[in-house]
Structure 1
Amino acid sequence: MHKSGVNFSLFSRHAVRVWLLLFEDVHATKPFQVIELDPQHHKTGDMWHICVLGAGRNLVYAFRVDGPYAPEQGHRFDPTKILLDPYATAIATPPEWSFAGLSSQGEASALTDSGREATAVAKCLVTGNSFDWEDDRPLHHPWSSLVIYETHVRGLTVHPSSGVRSPGSYLGVIEKIPYFKRLGITAIELMPLQEFNPNEVTAVNPLTGERLRNYWGYNTIAFFAPFQGYSSRLYPGCQVDEFKTMVKALHKAGIEVLLDVVFNHTAEGDETGPTLNFRGLDNSIYYLLEDDKSRYKNFSGCGNTMNCNHPVVRSYILDCLRYWVVEMHVDGFRFDLASILGRDRNGHLVSNAPLLEQIAEDPILRDVKLIAEAWDAGGAYLVGRFPGERWSEWNGLYRDDVRRYWRGDQGMAGAFASRICGSADLYEHSGKATVNSINFVTCHDGFTLNDLVSYEHKHNLANGEDNRDGSNDNYSANYGVEGPTDDPAIRRIRLRQMKNFIATLLISRGVPMILGGDEFCRTQMGNNNAYCQDNEISWYNWALLDENQEFFEFVRNMIAFRARHPTLSSERFYRPEDVSWFNPSGQTPDWHTESAVGCRIYGEHDGDQDLCLLFNPLPHPTNFVLPDLSHDSVWLRVIDTSAAPPFDVCQPGEGIPFGGNASIRLVERSMSVLLAERNR
């Protein structure tokens, strides 16, 4: 957009005709003007373009594109379909937008030359760039200071208990900033918020008959456009302004903003899916196709796979990332199923994949944080092997090993020790650092922390897939009862195990990520795949914060403890002289047979206190002999997951003293942390 009008442009290599459709407003049933682009005057190379003088902000538009319909050659042009601009920065969507009638050629048209109604389809919106960012700048927190909070924009505040004025919205996130500050997190990772259609799910909840929805948002339609449904809808394009307002407010509070982005597939699905943009613009370029060209490769598990390493698609993804950084001020990205970004045009994994290298080396993106979900649905599991030193990874092995250790699985102590020390066995060989490991015990995909210690089996019947969906390998336990219980003994062990998981996460080298709501024991009632549950299964019930204040305070105090002891978050791996592991009797552990282990961590710098970490995942108490100290020092026990407040995490200068070479008793399934301190 410029002062004289708006430039529209569209890539299509194989199109033969292109029309620009202009609408009076988002509710218009037919365009007030249809402009056919003359290839002699409005086409340069593969770019179709036109300047519309007098056009400006809030103009509603879309395209129609004609070309060969030849699925055996990979072409699926259909001039009857309304197509979205892939570069649109805002989308106007109808409240009950349906994908019905938008699939294969020959079905009912959304809009034809005769002007059939277009109210049920999304359209693009021209936006301006007049937002006042004031003095907002990227925060550039060092990786070592990050504590990431993964959350869902709507789910965070839509429940009536949230107490916000703008529930379920970008503005609602702002109202929770005092809470984030109190908790102590330094970055927020937002689940997908690039435009998607929540109404695309057609299944119903077999238990209630309720229509299911795409709640998570992992089916992107427009990659440049923030989701309209998380805005107030007070005026066209307000989602852009309100997203920016949210980012600016989070930055003022010292909190970085990371976006979960889904470039591995789109909402168009397989060959039976809707035609929204890419399929109708140049299907054979945007997607990976099978050898017969009529079907899609499906490394995403969602019907299609973006052709990420085609030069045109690479440029598109880079343009998109730059837009979110430069215009929307985000601090980094988590890439869903990122292994797909390393597949070539035949779907093969390649070393030094062009797209991954370009993202890492792009001059505009050089300072943003890059996090890969280093696997995909096609069998690629690249944890510890994701290419490029700049890429950090969701460490799925950290999650699994820590869960199995605390569940009491045999032979897990060695793996557990490696995860606590930053997973050097995974990352050091490739020249990476501890902060390349994003450590987590729970995330949106799977059990919540409360459910991890309350259910042995997934309970996904409400998803309408006969409990077949979601992972079967949860490494969870219920400690005697499946689901909620009033048994005080079971409740105590569940609370202790949740403390064990949080304490382990926050004393581990690497970058900790907490699933939002875990800090006050949010439950999904055993559902480990709540992608379609836009209801109380997924929403944050803030009444639990009052009910579970002890656990919230434990999480808050553990975050503060990590910040006070930078040895725990160092970006380098421990050297042999930095840490020594021992069994309860003080000898070298037998990693194959022993489960209860401890370690002494020596302070890296003058003034740093030595730490002693003790872990007992066994179902019975264990006595540990403490490491020797000089005669003028004592061990102070400052963390004890079996203790009640204030002794579960003691405040600075407090703690229970033990002399060097003394013995300390750890009750069943508990851990302790001790500090070496001069005996005063």
Structure 2
Amino acid sequence: MFNRIDVYPTHRHGDLWLRAGRPQPFGATIVPGGINFAVFSRHGVDCTLVLFHKGEAQPFIEIPFPDAFRIGNVWAMVVFGLDHEKIEYGYRMDGPHRPHAGHRFNRHDILLDPYARAIGGRPRWAAALDKADPMPFRGRVLIDDFDWQNDRQLELPAEDLIIYEMHVRGFTRDQSSGVKFPGTYAAIREKIPYLLELGINAVELMPIQEFDEHESDFFNPYNGQKLINFWGYSTIGFFAPKASYAATGHLGMEADELKALVKLLHRHGIEVILDVVFNHTAEGNEKGPTISYRGLDNKTYYMLRPDGSYQNFSGTGNTLNCNNPVVRNLVLDALRYWVSEYHIDGFRFDLASILGRDAEGHPLANPPLLESLAHDPVLGHTKLIAEAWDAGGLYQVGSFPAYGRWAEWNGRYRDVLRRFLKGDAEQVGEMAQMVKGSPHMYLERGPTASVNFITCHDGFTLHDMVSYAEKHNTANGEDNRDGANDNNSWNWGHEGATDDVGINVLRERLMRNAIAMLMVCQGVPMILMGDEMAHTKYGNNNTYAQDNELNWLDWRRLASHAGLFDFFRRCVAFRKAHPALRRRYHLHERDMIDSGFRDITWHGVKEGRPDWSPNSRTLAFMLCGLHAVLMPGRTADDHIYVAMNMHWEPHTFELPRLRDGRRWHLFADTYRPAPADSCDPGNERPLRTQRNLPVGPRSVVILVGK
């Protein structure tokens, strides 16, 4: 029996046999008889492959790439006889060290492969560092042999999504979670029944690509403890799942554990969206560590100023040069990998406006990366969501280059909803736009371009938004300078926790108002993890460095805030029960089907007479459910009427007259105490009077006409 010719070695180094490798794909790939290593550097002059036995401090061999093994700007080599399960690897790259010209090569550094599918060195969360380790992050070779059975991307319609933003560790780290392996991918599997009870059908995971939690330089002034990077917005490897988020990370099984989670979520109808950070890396500014990109080809990977220093549109010290063709391919390759090998359903791009800048940082009219992502064949059914701003002042909410594919975190929605909820003047007209799905910003793209949220990881929780007038970030070690100052929040008479029953009742009502309004607006709603149980961060609006109760959910709050959770659950179920709330196309404010009603009509305390004046704090609208038949696959729905009274006084609203024997039924009234504040969809109670609706101060009422 003859072996294939391409497994024959041609060179030898020490005890290992070699041959010229294939330049594509980049990274470490198992081939017949060995492993193909391929790494790019345009400006490097010599490259050495460094091999470790897994877990050992020093390499067992270093193999210089022969000149014949370089193809263009790629060093490629097959090394035979390696056990992929027992080795780790890195590179030394030699070249000019002229920082003023953008080159920072240092042949003494052992560098991580940007394409490493798994990264060793940090298998346990926040474990003590070995400062003598010459390579704290090491590439590992991964076999993608997970048995997915018949699993695939769910491809749920965007208009049907209800997104739950979640931090993997924070979701279950607290002992009150009651899971076997707190703070891990495996623990989320145990909480799937909870997610199903809440009613969400998409989880948006905060960064799970490998990052360094030890990155922070700050200390907690209260206890002197060194703070860490809890959120993870500082990526080290774009292809590798974070090992310390896995209960099996110390066994090198983090990839399979994450895949098992995705598979089980899909089995229960829940999509998985990853929060990805392609705008910068963990290498920081000129004083930061050299881990990978800087040492391999600094001038290619980063945006640089003329003096060789780093552009900083990310606010973290460096900015990836995303529209360089090599970096653009890195981003595309990584996303294709997550979709094909992890079955990820979508991505939320942190500070996505950076992805539209050129090498000098100028915004591009037609950014190649954004266009490539929109039209990529592998990503063809993958959801793309932009955080459409950056730290350099570029704010593109409503104007992000979309190419018919991109949705956006609607930061303007958040601001308007908060101001309207608080009772600010001059908000009613803006609020009406948000109810319709922001057509003034997304006229051609439809309401699904707007991801609506009132809270997210960055900023106050829903509880804190109604409990604090100012941020309280001293624990972050930056003298309360960090975090946003403009939060559109209010404490309603007392800063923070209080025993005042009246204040607490009002705060609870305002939280119910928020979720009620979120769920009746067109667009894609997103809920922040823990808002449904009134999670508090005690006024800290920037908990990126806090690995403690500020970010860990206290599951005991489910009992103490059972009424709030039930209201959340019912509002989510109500949205899912009514296609009129989940439109793919914008409302026209016309009668499109001769039903006798326009698809949406506006009202105030008088039927058909909304008060658009600057001092108005009331707004009501009715959705004609019969228009739902205009959406593919949808049947006629009930009519829905929503009255929002953000005034500090009660008002009586005239109700629209119904036809065809329909009557108004009460689904929710946030002024009423739990459990009378809402009911399960389908069990709405008919109103005694069909013409007038008393609405309490600072409250929302939702009716169904059936």
1:130 to 2:145 alignment = yes
Matches within 5 A, 1:431-442: 431-442=444-455
1:460 equivalent in alignment to 2:473: yes
Instruction: Count how many residue pairs are aligned between Structure 1 and Structure 2.
Output: 656
Query: Following the alignment from structure 2 to structure 1, what is the Cα–Cα distance between the partners of residues 188 and 703?
Result: 37
Contact 1:56 1:126 in 2 (8 A): no
1:444 partner amino acid: H
1:233 Cα deviation (Å)? Answer: 4.1
| Paired letter, 2:295 | G
Give the counterpart letter for 1:655 in structure 2: R
1:502 aligns to what? 515
Q: Name the CA distance, whole Å, in 2 between partners of 1:100 and 1:449.
A: 40
1:226-625 to structure 2, matched below 5 A, reads 226-233=241-248, 235-293=250-308, 295-388=309-402, 389-428=404-443, 431-577=444-590, 578-586=599-607, 587-603=609-625, 604=627, 605=629, 607-625=636-654
1:28-43 to 2 correspondences below 5 Å? 28-39=56-67, 41-43=68-70
Q: Structure 1's 143 and 155: CA in aligned 2 closer, same or farther, altered over 3 A?
A: same
Counterpart code for 2:700: M
Distance (Å, rounded) in 2 between the aligned partners of 1:286 and 1:98? 30
Instruction: Work out whether 1:648 is the aligned partner of 2:662.
Output: no
For residues 623-679 of structure 1, what are the alpha-carbon distances to aligned partners after superposition, in whole Å with 9 as ceiling and x for unaligned?
11111223833211211111134432223143141544x2211111001011112xx
Cα drift, residue 208 of structure 1 = 1.4
623-632 vs 198-207, greater mean Cα deviation: 623-632
Is 1:45 the counterpart of 2:67? The answer is no
* 1:92 equivalent in alignment to 2:107: no
CA distance in 2 between counterparts of 1:443 and 1:216 reads 12
> Separation in 1 of the partners of 2:69 and 2:192?
48
For the structure 1 residues 235 and 210, does the alpha-carbon distance in structure 2 shift closer, same or farther, using more than 3 Å as the test? closer
- 1 CA distance for matches of 2:135 and 2:108? 14
Instruction: Work out the CA distance in 2 between the residues paired with 1:97 and 1:64.
Output: 26
Partner AA of 1:416 in structure 2? M
Could you tell me whether the CA contact under 8 Å between 1:647 and 1:655 is conserved in 2? no
Partner of 1:157: 172
Match for residue 20 of structure 1 among 49, 52, 61: 49
Report the Cα offset of residue 210 of structure 1: 1.7
Distance, in Å, in 1 between the alignment partners of 2:218 and 2:702 is: 49
1:217 pairs with 2:197: no
TM-score, normalisation: structure 1: 0.94
- Read off the aligned partner of 1:633 and give its amino acid letter: R
Deviation at 1:97, TM superposition (A): 7.3
Q: Identify which range, 620-629 or 453-462, moves more after superposition.
A: 620-629
What CA distance in whole angstroms lies between the structure 2 residues aligned with 1:298 and 1:234? 33
Q: Distance in 2 between matches of 1:352 and 1:390?
A: 14
Q: Compared with structure 1, are the counterparts of its residues 298 and 456 closer, same or farther at alpha carbon in structure 2 (3 Å cutoff)?
A: same
Partner of 1:107: none
The amino acid across from 2:437 in the alignment is G
Match of residue 670 from structure 1: 699
The answer on whether the counterparts of 1:500 and 1:671 sit within 8 Å (CA) in structure 2 is: yes
1:350-394 residue CA offsets vs partner (Å, 9 max, x unmatched): 122100000000000010000000000011110000112200000
Does the Cα contact within 8 Å between 1:23 and 1:61 map onto a contact in 2?
A: yes
| Aligned counterparts of 1:528 and 1:367: Cα–Cα separation in 2 | 34
Mapped to 1, the partners of 2:240 and 2:660 lie a distance apart of: 64
Range 129-138 or range 509-518, more displaced: 129-138
Deviation at 1:590, TM superposition (A): 2.6
CA 1:440–1:457 in 2, change beyond 3 Å: closer, same or farther?
same
Deviations 1:172-211 (A, max 9, x none): 1111111111111000000001111101112110011122
Distance in 1 between residues matched to 2:82 and 2:134, nearest whole Å: 22
Distance 2:675 2:667 in 1: 10
Correspondence 1:172 to 2:187: yes
1:207 equivalent in structure 2: 222
Report how far residue 129 of structure 1 moved.
Answer: 1.6
Instruction: Provide the residue aligned with 1:112 in structure 2.
Output: none
CA contact (8 A) 2:110 2:135 kept: no
Native 8 Å contact 1:637 1:674 kept in 2: yes
- Distance in 1 (alpha carbons) for counterparts of 2:683 and 2:287: 65
Secondary structure of the structure 1 residue equivalent to 2:441: helix
How far residue 120 of structure 1 moved from its aligned partner, in angstroms, is 6.2
- Paired residue secondary structure (1:540): coil
Q: Is the 8 A contact 1:98 1:121 kept in 2?
A: no
Quote the Cα distance in structure 1 between the aligned partners of 2:367 and 2:61. 44
SS of 1:258's partner is strand
- What are structure 2's unaligned runs of at least 5 residues? 1-29, 591-598, 630-634
Tell me which moved more, 447-456 or 92-101: 92-101
2:687 aligned residue (634, 640, 657): 657
Give the secondary-structure state (helix, strand or coil) at the position aligned to 1:224.
Answer: coil
1:457-504, Cα deviation, whole Å (9 max, x unpaired): 000000000101000010011111111112111111001000000000
For the 8 Å contact 2:283–2:291, the answer to whether it is kept is: yes
Give me the CA root mean square deviation.
Answer: 1.5
Q: Does the aligned pair in 2 maintain the 1:289–1:297 contact within 8 Å?
A: yes
Alpha-carbon distance in 1 for matches of 2:44, 2:616 = 66
Counterparts of 1:99 and 1:445, CA distance in 2: 28
> CA deviation digits over 1:508-566, x for unaligned, max 9?
10000000011111000100000000111110110111111110010011110001111
Q: By how many angstroms is 1:585 displaced? A: 2.2
* SS at structure 1 position matched to 2:522: coil
Q: Is the 8 A contact 1:143 1:511 kept in 2?
A: yes
CA distance in structure 1 between the partners assigned to 2:474 and 2:467 by the alignment: 17
Distance 2:110 2:586 in 1: 54
* CA deviation profile, 1:93-114 (whole Å, cap 9, x unmatched): 246678998xxxxxxxxxxxxx
Given that residues 97 and 120 in structure 1 are in contact (C-alpha distance below 8 angstroms), is that contact kept between their aligned partners in structure 2?
no
- Mean alpha-carbon deviation: is it higher for 51-60 or for 275-284? 51-60
Paired letter, 2:34 = G
**Residues 66-75 or 604-613, more deviating:** 604-613
Query: 1:99–1:274: 8 Å Cα contact kept in structure 2?
Result: no
Q: Which stretch shows the higher mean deviation, 601-610 or 438-447?
A: 601-610
- Residue 111 of structure 2 aligns with an amino acid whose one-letter code is L
* Offset at residue 320 of structure 1 (A): 0.4
2:89 corresponds in structure 1 to 61
Q: Cα deviations across residues 591-636 of structure 1 (Å, max 9, x unaligned)?
A: 4232111112111136421111101001111111111223833211
Q: Secondary structure at the match of 1:223?
A: coil
In the alignment, structure 1 segments of 5+ residues that lack a partner are 102-116
Q: Which moved more, 1:640-649 or 1:301-310?
A: 640-649
